[in-house]
Amino acid sequence: MSLSHVDAKGRPKMVDISTKSVSSRQAHARAKVLLPAEVARQFVDNDLLTRKGSVIHTAVIAGTMAVKRTADLIPFCHPLPIDRCDIQIELQADNQLVIDCIVAVQHKTGVEMEALTGASVAALTVYDMLKALSHDMQISEVRLVSKQGGKSDYQAGDQQTSNSI
């Protein structure tokens, strides 16, 4: 197996998708933010209003904006016309905010980086919104949960399965 963003001479390059077929592609990424108990206790109905506004609503907006700007942040990502971006954030009993970002597109390339970027920026926004209450937060487990479309599907914990395109 070789790296797709490196040419035969080891130089960085953007992947050529010109001969690929357009297909439905979707990716689901997740990030977690571990909150100190005293911060988590301030959440009411799965949100916390600060002087900056709603933590959850602001994180959803920031994550969505990041999904749309991924190609500006990650050098070899293709700019994509995003068809769907759904960010859900839920406070769990263990004081963790679980951030799920699902992104879908009809295109020649996948949206894993967009989903990962959306979940990451939403987590960073939570940190920014709550840092006045505590800096003792941990962003963790930023990972791809699943992807569908393209050459293979992926489900965390499973082996990749090939698709025909």
Three-state DSSP state, 38? helix
- Which structure tokens are listed for 161? 């399965």
| Neighbour-count burial for 103-141, b at 16+ CB within 10 Å, e otherwise | bbbebbbbbbbbbbbbbbbbbbbbbebbeeeeeebebee
Strand residue runs (E) in the chain: 23-34, 49-50, 53-54, 84-91, 96-107, 138-148, 152-155, 161-162
Q: Out of 94, 128, 153, 158, pick the active-site residue.
A: 128
Q: Beta partners for 97?
A: 33, 91
How far apart are the C-alpha atoms of 115 and 3, rounded to whole Å? 21
Let me know if 83 is a catalytic residue. no
Tell me the catalytic residues.
Answer: 128
